[in-house]
Structure 1
Amino acid sequence: MKFYNRSNPETVHSAICFVDILGFSSMVYEAFENDTGNDLLKRLHMTLTENIAELRPQEEYVGVLKTFTDNIVIGHPIYEDGESQLGSIFLNYAAYQLSLTLEGFFVRGAVSTGEYYADEEFAFGPALLEAHHLESYEAITPRIILSNDTVELVYKHINYYAEPSWSPQARDLLKENTDDKYFINYLEAAMGDREYSDYNNAFIILQKHKAVIEENLQKFQGNTRVYSKYLWAAQYHNFFCDLQFETPYRQQLQIRGIPQGNFSLIV
């Protein structure tokens, strides 16, 4: 199995995920203008430190995590068919995205597959460039999207299962039909272990998710560009809650007064 070797740096076929925090620069400028810069620093430092620790691979041969304030990239060398590496990205980044969102830090990013090399000081390769490009120009809303090659690989993995809807990918990912983008279904992390799902705990988490979105919809009501990102988050929230909960819980979780989104399951 190939891995990132500092003594002989060469690219390795890898699964990559690149993410950053939406509106980070504006957030920092606004905080310092309001004399709350250090308060923001403390919130970010605590939230990111805790969550990055959960993302960081325990062994170098499993992968390498690179961070710079609001930017995070993780690379997993692909071995065998890559299902394990992509599955790890989907699960870990769903938990990471949910945790940050509940603290008011919405993120976007992209997952790609291809050649990549990384160590503690260095990150290099076309897979990283593709993930960064997708995050910057195509993700747009608070979602972590998949490259076309990654989508093809996901469907290869789904076809291993006698019933595609039983595959973990069927829960880990959703599709937005307006632009045919596949993205990590981060609210799935609220459901915990599906075999022992605690719907009461999930309901509490989703109530908090709803409140964070509603706060931002109100805050940015006059800013069309920013408002549209939180509108997307609200539509995704409603879609997920409709899938998971029956009335009256569904009604309590719904964010009212917004148009319906256009999402679907991937199988």
Structure 2
Amino acid sequence: MSSDLPHNLPIQNVLSLLGEFDYSEVPKSDRYIHLWRFDDRTVITIPNRARVHRAVLRSALIQGRILEKEFTERLKGAISVSGKESIIAHVDILGFKSLLDEAKESELRFDELLNHYHKALRSAFSRIKSVTEMRHKYDWKRISHVRVYTDNLLFVSELGWQTGGESEFGRTIDEIAMYQLELAIEGFFTRGGAVIERAYCDEVTVFSPALMDAAGIEKRALFPRIILEDSAREKLRRYLEWYNNPAFCHFNDMVVIDPDGTWFINYLYVLRWFSDDMMDWTEYCEEEIPAYGGPYHPEALCQLHQHRDHIKKRLAEFKDNPAIFRKYLWLACYHNWFCSTYFSEDGDVRIPDVGTELMFTGCLVAKSRINHNDR
């Protein structure tokens, strides 16, 4: 049975919290503490020890007819908390300010933008929820706290102590990529960065020194990509030392390196991963995909086409604005590289007439050639 109750809690904390539920201590024996509530004469008995074990505390709550959820909510404000080494990503949406400026001109435009954006976020949250629920079946820890305020997205995920936090790091990268993809296929392209920093996060508080440089993180990304800052890149490098064969390294596809030396999240890889899973599933079930005989799942191709069309639209929209155009030109190059690398048997997914090609490199393949001072 999962629980938010701590394994052991100081007896003074327990007595103080039970007092908030109107329980008062009555003269105690050497071995037990007795508390009772005057209005209904309910009695709680717990061992007189320095710390209260979770099972004993749960029994006390049952005796006192106190909901565990209500007790744990009060507990959060009564005990000290501490920061943990975490991966933190701060992300914003490219060009969102101009969308908001347009939205202020009329209620209709405001609601149109709100509903479009809300739909994209709900879709992203739904996708992540389905993945985390599946992981809960295997008793895996919840991955990220996610906060959204207007066009800013914040991810905070505590790294575990087992395997140096590699599994939490990897699953958080996957989660961020899924958010980024869901927003992109709705036409919202994101930029930002991920760092490793001590942090604390719960339903009320997000606390970390890394957030003081949130604007700097976004600016350093430059293009519509989520980059790994120095601390995150160095952490990943340590994980990469454990692998010799790219086939066994999940990071080699999920984190790639720009020709300028920047490590960033390869969010489109979620589509290849989805396509392979769905094709394997239909083969396992001996089902056929109607009116389709290619090597990729049609839904993955549909989303890749949506991604392509949004970029083409932005390239045409900003052709006379060099500063913005170059951001979408980079995105077009990334899209085409991805299609050539992971969807090469479908000739319709690339963006034609881009005029520029960029070649990105898997982080494990490139690690021996990357100097530790490169960005």
TM-score range, shorter chain: 0.7 to 0.9
TM-score normalised according to structure 2 size:
0.63
Matches within 5 A, 1:74-223: 74-80=155-161, 81-130=164-213, 132-178=214-260, 180-193=261-274, 196=277, 198=279, 199-201=296-298, 202-223=300-321
Contact kept in structure 2, 1:116 and 1:128, CA below 8 Å = no
- Which residue, 236, 244, 247 being the options, matches 2:342? 244
Residue 135 of structure 1: CA displacement? Answer: 3.0
The share of aligned pairs that are identical, in percent, is 30
Q: Does 1:227 align with 2:325?
A: yes
> Which stretches in structure 2 are left out of the alignment for 5+ residues?
1-75, 280-295, 366-375
Distance 2:198 2:122 in 1: 28
Shift of the alpha carbon at 1:168?
0.3
Aligned length: 260
Q: Distance in 2 between matches of 1:240 and 1:211?
A: 15
Structure 1 contact 61–77 (Cα < 8 Å) conserved: no
* CA distance in structure 1 between the partners assigned to 2:183 and 2:99 by the alignment: 14
Q: Which amino acid aligns with 1:39?
A: E
- Rounded to whole Å, the distance in 1 between the matches of 2:297 and 2:224 is 25
- State whether residues 228 and 264 of structure 2, in contact with CA within 8 Å, keep that contact through their aligned partners in structure 1: yes
Cα-to-partner distance string for 1:77-135 (whole Å, 9 max, x where unaligned): 111211112111211111111111110111111111011122233222223335x2453
Question: Counterpart in 1 of 2:351?
Answer: 255
Is 1:38 aligned with 2:111? Answer: yes
Report if the CA contact (8 A) 2:127-2:178 is conserved.
no
Q: Is the 8 A contact 1:173 1:265 kept in 2?
A: yes
CA shift in 2, pair 1:245/1:16, >3 Å: same
CA deviations on 1:145-192 (whole Å, 9 max, x unpaired) are 0012211221222222341342000111111122x1100000001113
Higher relative contact order (CA 8 A, sep 6+): 1
The alignment's C-alpha RMSD in Å is 2.5
Q: How far did residue 193 of structure 1 move?
A: 4.5
For 2:353, give the aligned amino acid.
G
Seen in structure 2, the aligned counterparts of structure 1 residues 166 and 195 have a Cα distance that, compared at 3 Å, is: farther
Is the CA contact 1:47–1:100 (under 8 Å) kept in the aligned structure 2? Answer: yes
Distance 1:170 1:234, change over 3 A: same
DSSP-derived class of the 1:235 partner: helix
In structure 2, C-alpha distance between the alignment counterparts of 1:163 and 1:13, rounded to whole Å: 28
Structure 1 segments of 4+ aligned residues over 4 angstroms from their partners: 53-63
- The residue aligned with 1:28 is 100
Alignment partners' CA distance in 1, 2:325 and 2:278:
33
| CA deviation string 1:245-267 (max 9, x = no partner) | 335x23x2221222112422222
* Cα separation, 2, equivalents of 1:169 and 1:49: 27
Partners in 2 of 1:50 and 1:208 — Cα distance? Answer: 15
CA radius of gyration, larger in? 2
TM-score, normalization by structure 1: 0.87
The one of 135, 146, 152 aligned to 1:65: 146
Q: Is the 8 A contact 1:210 1:237 kept in 2?
A: yes
CA distance in 2, matches of 1:44, 1:70: 9
> Cα deviations across residues 186-234 of structure 1 (Å, max 9, x unaligned)?
0001113575364133322211111110011111111112111111110
Distance 1:195 1:41 in 2: 34
Query: Unmatched 5+ residue regions in structure 1?
Result: none
Instruction: Tell me if the contact between 1:158 and 1:164 (Cα under 8 Å) persists in the aligned partners.
Output: no
